[in-house]
Structure 1
Amino acid sequence: MPTVLITGASRGLGLEFARQYRADGWEVIATCRNPSTAPALAATGAEVHALDVTDDAALKALGRTLSGRALDVLINNAGVYPLKSPQGSFGDVPVDAWMEALRTNVVAPWKVAETFIDNLTKAERPVLATISSKMGSIADAAAPGSVVYRSSKTAVNMVVKALALDLGPRGVICLSFHPGWVLTDMGGPNALITPEQSITGLRRLIARATPADNGRFLAYDGQEVPW
């Protein structure tokens, strides 16, 4: 039975990943900060662990708990959008929110990869998928605003590229994904696609990934996203 580890799985995209993989018979290991407040995740039948991805000690502890288990897929999904409205305009960007975004959206995916690299290399065709955003595309940026979130997603794309260079020779396929503008708490009510549509597309890309895809930045529909 293949195994997937999903961070930030209490709701939204992470929860939909857990639902779909469980429905297909996968062993799902899911993490969230507070499992007691995530009944929908428990209902999927996933193996749930408490984890704040910014807590280095907790991450190392989970690494010890899962030691020796092969991971076919690791999904770096945990993330934050710390400023809802306004998103911080020039001259009024709070430093604490920016640091929170960088620690959660940029540093944590790298540390998660470090923690579970031995688990990944036990699998035959391991995939390390990181949920980024088209909002992190420098080439696509055409309007001001949202610098906190945008910069964190630009930075995590470099993290994924660096992981691809480090881990590609070890057989790990590292991918950065734009999930689309999704109807979730983070995406808001004006979003264009459902979690089901987004995750169905992302899972298809994960399933088809080959070493030739290592280091790519792809949208849920398979289109290349410009860096």
Structure 2
Amino acid sequence: MNSILITGCNRGLGLGLVKALNKLPEPPQHLFTTCRNLEQATDLKNLAKEHSNIHILEIDLKNFDEYDKIVNQIAEVTKDSGLNVLFNNAGVAPKSVRLGATRQQDLIDTLHTNTVVPVMLTKACLPLLKKASDANEAESMSVKRAAIINMSSILGSIKSNTDGGLLPYRASKAALNAVTKSMSIDLAPQKILCVSLHPGWVRTDMGGSNAPLDVTTSTTKIVETICQFNESHNGGFYQYDGAELPW
């Protein structure tokens, strides 16, 4: 892929994806990364000093009025090549509670960040994705042409829910899965691949210290997996190692 935009790269999986992509034999020519606070993104800034292909975009993704600015910044760099991949990675996970303790604001905030933001950012980036698809019409549907990868979770699977609880997070990721499916249908004529991806249970600030996977293992497998996606994967729900998951 020539270019990729990844949200939420100051730590955790986002930062891990940046590292994993730059370990590829042919890293992306342009790796656009977002963070809310540039001053606090020390690890990301250090990576950018080592790799000239990393571009850091400071933005609060809940501020939709700022989207045009980052889209224009990407367009200035990529010119007629467009944007090959939008990886909607940024997300939140409120404290685990049962129905009786679920707060209205937690539901609203989680849906806002985990579902509304990916939809609106995808909408803003669509001209860039379409430009990349047109520029790579010889390629089949893949990350080499144009793709949207939405970081979901197995906790968004309705069929796999045997434990209950986690209402805000589960609802936001189930909604993201529904959105991904609709995107895959809406954007199929433009040959833009759309997939929901579960990173596994990973040891991050969000995943906690008991998680079985480390960031490097998860993100290395994610990069391998998305590089193998083709038209048959469009509109699907997969985990980090490529295994298909139930809705």
For 2:91 and 2:67, how far apart are their aligned partners in 1? 15
Match of 2:67 among 55, 59, 62: 59
Match of 1:33 among 36, 40, 52: 36
Please give the per-residue CA displacement for 1:26-59, whole angstroms capped at 9, x wherever unaligned: 2211001111100111122221011122111112
Pairwise CA distance, 1:140: 0.3
Matched, 1:3 2:15: no
Pairwise CA distance, 1:196: 1.1
For 1:183 and 1:71, how far apart are their aligned partners in 2? 30
Over the matched positions of the two proteins, sequence identity in percent amounts to 36
For 1:119 and 1:110, how far apart are their aligned partners in 2? 15
Amino acid at match of 1:53: L
SS at match of 1:44: helix
For 1:81 and 1:153, how far apart are their aligned partners in 2? 10
Matched, 1:95 2:129: no
For 2:67 and 2:98, how far apart are their aligned partners in 1? 34
Cα RMSD (Å): 1.3
Pairwise CA distance, 1:122: 2.5
For 2:226 and 2:129, how far apart are their aligned partners in 1? 14
In the other structure, the counterpart of 2:113 is 104
For 2:83 and 2:210, how far apart are their aligned partners in 1? 35
For 1:139 and 1:150, how far apart are their aligned partners in 2? 12
Pairwise CA distance, 1:66: 2.1
For 1:103 and 1:75, how far apart are their aligned partners in 2? 17
Matched, 1:77 2:89: yes
Per the normalisation by structure 1, the TM-score is 0.94
Pairwise CA distance, 1:121: 2.0
Amino acid at match of 1:88: V
Amino acid at match of 2:71: G
Q: What are the residue-to-residue correspondences of 1:135-150 with 2, within 5 Å?
A: 135-150=155-170
For 1:36 and 1:23, how far apart are their aligned partners in 2? 25
Matched, 1:131 2:143: no
For 1:225 and 1:189, how far apart are their aligned partners in 2? 24
In the other structure, the counterpart of 2:14 is 14
Gaps of 5+ in 2: 49-53, 137-144
Per the normalisation by structure 2, the TM-score is 0.87
Deviating above 6 A after TM superposition, structure 1's stretches of 4 or more consecutive aligned residues are none
Contact 1:3 1:72 in 2 (8 A): yes
Amino acid at match of 2:63: D
Q: What are the residue-to-residue correspondences of 1:194-213 with 2, within 5 Å?
A: 194-213=214-233
State how many pairs are aligned: 224
For 1:207 and 1:144, how far apart are their aligned partners in 2? 34
For 1:185 and 1:53, how far apart are their aligned partners in 2? 19
Matched, 1:165 2:168: no
Of the structure 1 ranges 183-192 and 14-23, higher mean CA displacement relative to structure 2 is found in 14-23
For 1:198 and 1:44, how far apart are their aligned partners in 2? 19
